[in-house]
Amino acid sequence: MGVRAESGRSGRQPPPEPEINVTPLVDVVLVLLIIFMVIAPQMEHGERVELPAVFQPDRRSRATLEPIYVTITGAGTVFLEKEALADLPSLGERLRAIRAAEPERRVVIKGDSSVKYGRVREAFALCQEVGFGGISLQVSQRGGGAAPEPEEG
């Protein structure tokens, strides 16, 4: 075995030029994109619930401090922000502590549309009892016109 020399050349070959293979880079970026798309909805405030809809939302908005989110799931579990609580009295204790530290904050109640009205009303009354003046019910917007006609029968 030997080295073959080509005639007419000086014997030196130019070094090979490196080629960048972008396929692995694109694969990694796409995987990261998919991961962020799956995780982003989970980073929402509190537990995910199916909100009831409203047809004519109030356009006035009050941009103040970040609200306190109280979430009531379809199973009836109560969450303060992202922390599950045992019952409504423990929610009251936690809200009193927050109210003492930051009296200007308001409360947003997110109740799943399948939760009985009484359960959401109990949480609302508790927030009023603690002394929060700004209590809102979070809903999803459905349509932009008037509410649908009631069904007869």
State the DSSP string of the chain: --PPPPTTS-S--PPPPP----HHHHHHHHHHHHHHHHHGGGGSSSS---PPEESS--------SPPEEEEE-TT--EEETTEEESSHHHHHHHHHHHHHH-TT--EEEEE-TTS-HHHHHHHHHHHHHHT-S-EEE--EE--SSPPPPPPP-
Q: Is the residue at 146 inside a domain?
A: no
pLDDT of 111 reads: 86
| Residue with the two structure tokens 């692995």 | 24
Q: Which of 1-15, 98-112, 126-140 has the lowest mean pLDDT?
A: 1-15
Q: pTM for the full model?
A: 0.55
Calculate mean pLDDT across residues 2-14: 63
Q: How many domains does the chain have?
A: 1
Whole-number Å distance between alpha carbons of 72 and 80: 9
For 33-72, the pLDDT digits (tens) are 999 998 887 776 666 677 666 665 555 555 557 888 888 8
In CATH, what number is assigned to the domain containing residue 117? Answer: 3.30.420.270
Q: Is the residue at 5 inside a domain?
A: no
CA nearest neighbour of 97 among 69, 130, 138: 130
For 69-107, the pLDDT digits (tens) are 888 888 888 888 888 887 888 888 898 998 888 888 888
Cβ proximity of 77 and 84 under 8 Å: yes
Who has greater pLDDT, 135 or 151?
135
Q: Is the residue at 95 inside a domain?
A: yes
CA nearest neighbour of 91 among 64, 125, 67, 52: 125
Give the domain range for residue 79. 53-141
Q: Is the residue at 35 inside a domain?
A: no
Q: Is the residue at 75 inside a domain?
A: yes
Q: Is the residue at 1 inside a domain?
A: no
Q: What is the mean pLDDT of the chain?
A: 78
Who has greater pLDDT, 50 or 24?
24
Q: Is the residue at 109 inside a domain?
A: yes
Q: Is the residue at 70 inside a domain?
A: yes
